[in-house]
Amino acid sequence: MAETQVLMERLEKAVIRLESLFSDSHRSIGMECGAVNGVNGGVAPYVEAFDRLLNGSVAEFLRNSKILEGDVKIHAEMVRAAFQAQRAFLLLVSQYQEPQEGPTASTASVLSTLTSGQCLPPPPPPPLPPGPPPFFDTDSGKDEATTSRSALFAQLNQGEAITKGLRHVSDDQKTHKNPNLRAQGPPVRSPTKSHTPSPTSPKNSPQQIHSPLLELEGKKWRVEYQEDKNDLVITDTELKQVAYIFKCNKSTLQMKGKINSITIDNCRKFGLVFDNVVGIVEVINSRDIQIQVMGKVPTISINKTEGCHIYLSEDSLDCEIVSAKSSEMNILIPLNGDYKEFPVPEQFKTAWDGSKLVTEPAEIVG
């Protein structure tokens, strides 16, 4: 409370000083000041605007603050004194081309002192992390590092004089002129030149070999890293299960029953035969894929794939084919006991019809 009382006294003194300065200046200038300040009793327009602020939101704030006690009431009194000091300063400023520095900054610093919590004891500093700081263990370590860095820059700033400290090497000490030195060991490679590996140099490490996988993990069938397997079969399927086929090459998988969804990812020359899928069949980042639908599937998605042949059944002719960033896609439709192949468009043309863009497959001519 003692510190708060001191702050209040500082505010009051600031207001009294401003009012005194304004009164002295007003008496010395007289009626001439009124001509400068304008109409409405010789008050400048920006002072009138400040008065409207005082009579409006500031006055409402002060009225509401009187209802509360404690720090809120004390703060409201400080705000009132600060606004009075500001108004007195504005009146003083209106009389000069270059106004003198008033005690407004002092008033603001008092308010900042209160609102920043300096009246309260400061909180304890956060604990330091355990162990020494990075790079330097002690202050002496910092000094040593600074000294070493300064010495390095001093050497670099020598320019051409830096070569004076180099030792002369005679011909008998040079490897390319002394066969005896070459016989003692391999030459040291220059760190600034690239070197072509010799035939005996070790090549890149071989790719990691993964074990083939075909198992049910929770509700997901995982078929991964199958190579040259054409007899893969999954029979024990349920509606809530999904299948994820990853990096299977030159293999074929048959899935019986009904399953929720199937995803083929990063496969090459892979064939899939399934009965029914209630969700979607996705082909991603693959190449040379063949899919045969024995029952029904609502949607087949092809994305970033080169070469995909889809054999639809009589019951799956209403399937929607969604493709993006793919090529060599063909849909085979059963007709008269045989399959007829229809290519999926890869090229499109887009035109403005006056209200929107219209996109349709482009016929390849030529």
Q: What is the DSSP string of 279-294?
A: SEEEEES-EEEEEEES
pLDDT digits (tens, 9 = 90+) for 223-270: 999 999 999 999 989 999 999 999 999 999 999 999 999 999 999 999
Angle formed at CA 314 by CA 308 and CA 316, multiple of 5 degrees: 55
Residue among 306, 313, 323 nearest 274 (CA): 313
Q: Strand 213-217 and strand 220-224: pairing?
A: antiparallel
Q: Are strands 249-259 and 232-234 parallel, antiparallel or unpaired?
A: parallel
Least confident of 65-69, 172-176, 236-240, 271-275: 172-176
Q: Write down the pTM of the prediction.
A: 0.45
Q: Which of 249, 283, 282, 285 is nearest to 266 (CA)?
A: 285
> In CATH, what class is 213-361?
mainly beta
Token readout for 323 is: 């493709």
Asked whether the beta carbons of 337 and 331 are under 8 A apart, the reply is: no
User: What's the confidence (pLDDT) of residue 310?
Assistant: 97
Q: pLDDT by residue (tens digit) across 56-69? A: 888 888 888 777 77
Is pLDDT of 112 > 60? no
Distance CA 98, CA 93 (A): 8
Q: What is the mean pLDDT of the chain?
A: 76
What is the pLDDT, as a whole number, of residue 132? 44
Give the pLDDT mean for 68-87: 78
